[in-house]
Structure 1
Amino acid sequence: MVTQPVTSGVINSKLSAIGESSALHWVTVSSASGGTLMSVDVKPGDHVQAGAKLATLDSDTQQNALDKARLAAQDADASLARAKTLAASNSLSQTQLDAAQLAADNARLAVQAAQIALSQRTITTPVAGTVGLIQVTAGNLINAQTVITTVEDSSEILINFWVPERYSSQMTVGAPVDATSAALPGKTFAGTISAVDNKIDPASRTLQVQATLPNADGTIKSGMSFTVDMTFPGQTFAAVDPLSVQWSNNGAYVWKVENGKAVKGMVDIVQRNSDGVLVTGDVKPGDSVVTQGVLQLSDNMAVRLLDQAAAAGGGRQGQGQAPAASSAPRS
Structure 2
Amino acid sequence: MKALRQLVLSLAVLAGGLYIWITYVPAARPLLERAGLLDLLGVEAAQNDAAGQGRSGRPSRGVAAVITETVGEMVGEDRITAIGDGRARRSVTVRSNAVGVITDLSLAAGGYVESGAVIVKLQNEEETIALEQARIQLEDARAEEVRIKRLQASGATTEVRLRETELALRSAELAVRQAEFDLSQRQIAAPISGWVGIIDLEEGDRVNAQDVLVTLTDRSEILIDFRVPERAVRNIKVGQAFEVTPLGVSDESLTGKISAIDSVVDRASRTLLVQGRVANDADMLRAGMAFSVNLTFPGDTLLAIAPLAVQWSSDGPFVWVVRDNKAVRVTVDIVQRNSGEVLVAAEGLSAGDQVVTEGVQTLREGAEVKVAPPDQSASVARDSQ
Same fold (TM over 0.5): yes
Distance 2:264 2:187 in 1: 42
Do the aligned partners of residues 83 and 224 (structure 1) sit closer, same or farther apart at CA in structure 2, a change above 3 Å counting?
A: same
- Whichever of the two has the greater Rg, that structure is 2
Which residue of structure 2 lines up, in the alignment, with residue 227 of structure 1?
292
Is 1:76 equivalent to 2:141 in the alignment?
A: yes
Contact 1:27 1:151 in 2 (8 A): yes
CA contact 2:76–2:298 (8 Å) conserved in 1? no
State the one-letter code of the partner of 1:173. V
Alignment of 1:47-86 (within 5 A): 47-86=112-151
Change (3 A) 1:12 1:93: farther
> 2:185 aligned with 1:120, yes or no?
yes
- Contact between 1:130 and 1:152, CA under 8 Å: does it hold in 2? yes
Q: 2:279 aligns with which of 189, 211, 214?
A: 214
- Report the counterpart of residue 210 of structure 2 in structure 1: 145
Report deviation, 1:125. 0.6
Tell me the amino acid that sits aligned with residue 149 of structure 2.
Answer: K
The Cα shift of 1:115 comes to 1.1
1:287 to 343, 347, 367: 347
The answer on 1:187 being equivalent to 2:252 is yes
Whole-angstrom CA distance in 1 between matches of 2:253 and 2:233: 24
SS in 2 for 1:219: coil
Residue by residue over 1:133-185, the C-alpha shift from the partner in whole angstroms, topping out at 9 and shown as x without a partner, is 11222222211121111222222222122323332333322110111112112
| Residue equivalent to 2:94 | 29
Instruction: Return closer, same or farther for 1:233/1:64 CA change in 2, 3 Å cut-off.
Output: same
Residue type at the aligned position of 2:182: A
Give 1:10-21 correspondences, 5 Å limit: 13-21=78-86
The Cα offsets for residues 262-282 of structure 1, whole Å up to 9 and x where unpaired, read as xxxxxxxxxxxx957xxxxxx
C-alpha distance in 2, partners of 1:228/1:52? 37
1: CA distance, partners of 2:123 / 2:198: 22
Deviation of the 1:222 alpha carbon:
1.8
In the alignment, what sits opposite 2:232? 167
The DSSP-based 3-state class of the residue aligned with 1:169 is coil
Q: 1:105 aligns with which of 164, 170, 184?
A: 170
Contact 2:145 2:165 (C-alpha < 8 Å) held by counterparts: yes
Counterparts in 2 of 1:180 and 1:78: CA distance versus 1, 3 Å:
same
Question: Structure 1 unaligned runs (5+)?
Answer: 1-6, 245-273, 277-283, 290-304, 311-318, 320-331
Q: In structure 2, what is the Cα distance between the partners aligned to 1:306 and 1:11?
A: 30
Q: Match of 1:155?
A: 220
The SS at the match of 1:117 is helix
The AA in structure 1 aligned to 2:174 is L
Following superposition, the deviation at residue 188 of structure 1 comes to 0.7
Displacement of 1:85: 2.6
Q: Distance in 1 between matches of 2:168 and 2:228?
A: 62
- 1:129 equivalent in alignment to 2:223: no
Measure, in 1, the Cα distance between the counterparts of 2:144 and 2:300.
82
Give the aligned partner of residue 328 of structure 1: none
More strand by share: 1
Q: Deviations over 1:194-252 (max 9, x none)?
A: 222344445544333221111112111221111111111135689xxxx79xxxxxxxx
Q: How far off its partner does 1:285 sit? A: 5.2
SS at match of 1:171: coil
Task: Provide the aligned length of Structure 1 versus Structure 2.
Answer: 257
Q: Distance in 2 between matches of 1:202 and 1:112?
A: 55
Partners of 1:161 and 1:286 lie apart in 2 by 35
Are the equivalent residues in 2 in contact too, given 1:8–1:285 (CA < 8 A)? no
For residues 251-262 of structure 1, the aligned pairs below 5 Å read none
Instruction: Please tell me whether the aligned partners of residues 334 and 345 of structure 2 are also in contact (alpha carbons under 8 angstroms).
Output: no
Matched residue type, 1:118: L
* Superposition pairs of residues 240-279 of structure 1, within 5 angstroms: none
Distance 1:193 1:203 in 2: 23
8 A Cα contact 2:101 2:207, kept in partner: yes
- Calculate the TM-score normalised by the size of structure 1: 0.66
Provide the secondary structure at the position in 1 that maps to 2:225: strand
Of stretches 124-133 and 158-167 in structure 1, the one that deviates more from structure 2 is 158-167
1:194–1:91 CA distance, 2 compared to 1 (3 A): farther
Name the SS of the counterpart of 1:13 in structure 2: strand
1:69 is matched by which residue type in structure 2? A
Aligned residues with identical type, % of pairs: 35
Tell me how far apart the structure 2 counterparts of residues 35 and 308 of structure 1 sit (CA, whole Å): 96
What is the distance in 2 between the residues matched to 1:196 and 1:81?
65
Equivalent residue for 2:61?
A: none
Alpha carbons of 1:185 and 1:85: their partners in 2 closer, same or farther (altered >3 Å)?
same
Gaps of 5+ in 2: 1-71, 304-314, 317-332, 336-343, 350-363, 370-383
